Amino acid sequence: MQEITKNIYINSEFPGVTLGAIVTPRGLIQIDAPPSPEDARTWRASLMSLGGGIERVLINMDAHPDRTLGARAMDCIVITQEKTADIFRTRPGTFKAQGEETGADWESIPGLGSVRWVLPEISFSNQMILHWSDSPVILEHHPGPAIGSIWVHLPKEKILFIGDTVTKNQPPFLAGSNLKAWLESLTELLDTPYKGYTFISSRGGIVTPNVIKNQYDFLKQVNDKLNKLNNKKPTPATVEKMVTSMQGWFKAPATRQKQFAQRLRYGLIHYNSRQYHSTNQTSED
Q: Give me the pLDDT at residue 52, please.
A: 85
Q: Give me the pLDDT at residue 252, please.
A: 80
204: left (phi over 0), alpha (psi -120 to 50) or beta: left
pTM of the model: 0.91
Q: What architecture does CATH give domain 2-225? A: 4-Layer Sandwich (3.60)
pLDDT in tens, the chain (285 residues): 899 999 999 999 998 899 999 999 999 999 999 998 889 999 999 998 898 889 999 999 999 999 999 999 999 999 999 999 999 988 887 777 666 789 999 988 887 777 888 899 999 999 999 999 999 999 999 999 999 999 999 999 999 999 999 999 999 999 999 999 999 999 999 998 999 999 999 999 999 999 999 999 999 999 988 888 766 677 778 889 889 889 888 888 888 899 999 999 999 988 887 765 454 443 344
User: How far apart (Å, rounded) are the C-alpha atoms in residues 94 and 174?
Assistant: 24
User: How far apart (Å, rounded) are the C-alpha atoms in residues 145 and 167?
Assistant: 10
3 state DSSP class of 92: coil
The domain spans of the chain are 2-225
Q: Write b or e for each residue in 44-72: b if 16 or more Cβ atoms lie within 10 A of its Cβ, otherwise e.
A: beebeeeebeeebbbbbbbbbbbbbbbbb
User: How far apart (Å, rounded) are the C-alpha atoms in residues 229 and 81?
Assistant: 32
Q: Give me the pLDDT at residue 110, please.
A: 82
**Contact present, 275 and 233 (Cβ < 8 Å):** no
Q: Give me the pLDDT at residue 280, please.
A: 45
